[in-house]
Structure 1
Amino acid sequence: MNHLYTIHDRLVSRAEKEQRLGQRGQVIWFYGLSGSGKSTIAAALERELHEAGRFTKVLDGDNIRSGLNANLGFSDDDRRENIRRIAEVAKLFADTGLITLVSFITPKRELRALAREVLGETDLTLVYVKASFETCQQRDPKGLYAKVAAGQVKQFTGKDSGFEEPTADDTNIVIDTEAQDLPACVAQAQTLLRG
């Protein structure tokens, strides 16, 4: 897209912003089934980083689907647009020097590839938060699995709508929330920070 009036040469650069903040802008993208622990890990990591003086922002379904993406449903096209918008917002935050923690189901490999295309290899770390459908169903932190069982929710990821397990090319790390407690998961996630 051509811009009529280029102002980029007058804007504060990313490097200047990162220097001021004393950190490198980046995106850690947690994905997995609903109830796997994505938001819990992101929130706990954000708290630790905040207490250490780092500047962060969490993007998850609760704060994006109720505002920016309130007009999107759960069709394949809407899920793709949801991820595209999230990736673009995360890119803006990373360019500002923020550590952005993204927590979305991101069920398809093509959606994870889209996030990587928007954000680039340098800024994005993909983290598969692993837990079985049965474990997530037992946890059911938002009552969604109960609604699915009652037939109140359609196109539910892992049941009606598929979830594609990651491949070696499609993720940077796996955090298994069935095998580790929250502090261990957060500690594993913290090792992913770049700079």
Structure 2
Amino acid sequence: MIWLPWQLIKTMNIVIRQASPADVHAATTLLYQAGEQLLCTIFGDGDKEKTLDFLNYAWMNQSGQYGCSNHWLACDGNLPVGIITCWHDKLPEDFDHQTLMSITDFFGIAESLSVIARSQHIAESLQVPSQNQLGVGHVAVHPDYRRTGVATALLQEMVKQAVKHHKRSLILDVESENKGAIQFYLTQGFQKKGVSPPFVHMSKSL
């Protein structure tokens, strides 16, 4: 069967689909939960509301790291209850440029310099996917839907994306203090590959 990006996958009562601009409010709330402390430090300088305002803005721009076009949602009916994204060498050529544009358009040139500096400091600790790897990120599940298979279904979607793009492994970074997430990924077949504070690097062969 040929995988179509708009095809719906069901698990229990949950549907996995690509995100859209219309999902903005529920999706960016989940996106914020995927890395509250880091996102708030980078984009809000400690201000949650400013961080959420930026995520809403970037989501509606659609392209780039925080745009809706490269995110998938787990939905219960019309309600998004989980989120995930991925990075690889098949992304649009302007992906990084669109990410930068969202930042500069929202914050302005002067403040953007500080945002980019804070972001770069964190990025230096993250894994960069190789040609044969698909990087997974922005993983979050609504508290009411945890331990129900939602996160597993989201990871299964990333496996499909990896196969589609001829990748041999998934990689991801988890904050070292997030013991629950680390244990979950271990049960999903990931292995610890190293530590670069504040992250634990993990990978899964396909």
Q: Under a length normalisation based on structure 2, what TM-score does the superposition of the two structures give?
A: 0.30
Which structure: greater strand fraction?
2
The structure whose RCO (Cα within 8 Å, separation 6+) is larger is 1
Q: Under a length normalisation based on structure 1, what TM-score does the superposition of the two structures give?
A: 0.31
Rg comparison, structure with higher value: 1
